[in-house]
Amino acid sequence: MINVDNNFLNNFINLLNIQSIEIIQQSLEDCDEWIFKNYKIDETLKEFKNYKVKEIKPRKLTILNGKITFKRRKYYKINQETGKEEYIFPLDKLLGIKKWQRIDNSVKEKILSFVGNKKTYQDILDTMEHVKICIKTISNIMKNAKIDKEYYINKTDKKIKVPHTLYIQIDGTYLKMWNENKKGKEKIKKHSIFSTVHTGFDKTKSTKKRPVIANKLGVIELDNIPEYIKKK
């Protein structure tokens, strides 16, 4: 007779998360090793060519799979003008991770994707339980979205070639959210604008039953609305 644990599925999912983190960690360290072996000769790494390895340092980062710690090399070179050492972590730079950053951009984008779904911070926390973040982190990401342009949803440098007409759809609303402060939690309203632009239907991809929008881009502005729009 097979004895199946009542927590089998939960334990199995936790095991998969642990294994995925280990795989990601190993992949990042393998990438750092590849940089070390090729940064002097590979054309794509030429900006690091004049640096030398200083030491190996660990880095902690929160990603969608959970919290991860990986080791990578710290490089340095002497600034000819100041005579001082300049430091850089090539792996961090290639990953787009800033020096002060502790949360990966993918986590911030995931949290901001809940904007407009009328979810409370606790709802988001429950949905992303495996990420191991707290309500305060979610609150800070939401509140900083108005000044942190790098993490606006659907941020892109893509340029649209308009064949004849550009269609613009825009709407605004107030979102109720929990705000964490020293006195406790309070409900606040954040003014948001949702905007979509496109150039009509894509004739090559559309079918009779399924029309496909061409060159669709979306932008969400959270609590960053000009006063003259708020009044209207």
Question: pLDDT tens, 147-192?
Answer: 444 444 445 566 667 777 888 888 777 666 666 665 666 666 666 7
What's the gap between Cα 23 and its chain centre? 20
Residue 27, pLDDT > 50, answer: yes
Q: Residue 175 has what pLDDT?
A: 66
The 10s digit of each residue's pLDDT in 35-81 is: 999 999 998 899 999 999 999 999 999 998 889 999 999 999 999 88
The per-residue pLDDT of the chain, averaged, comes to 79
User: Which amino acid is residue 192, in one-letter code?
Assistant: S
Residue 26, pLDDT > 70, answer: yes
Q: Quick one: tokens of 134?
A: 């707290």
pTM for this structure? 0.60
Q: Residue 152 has what pLDDT?
A: 47
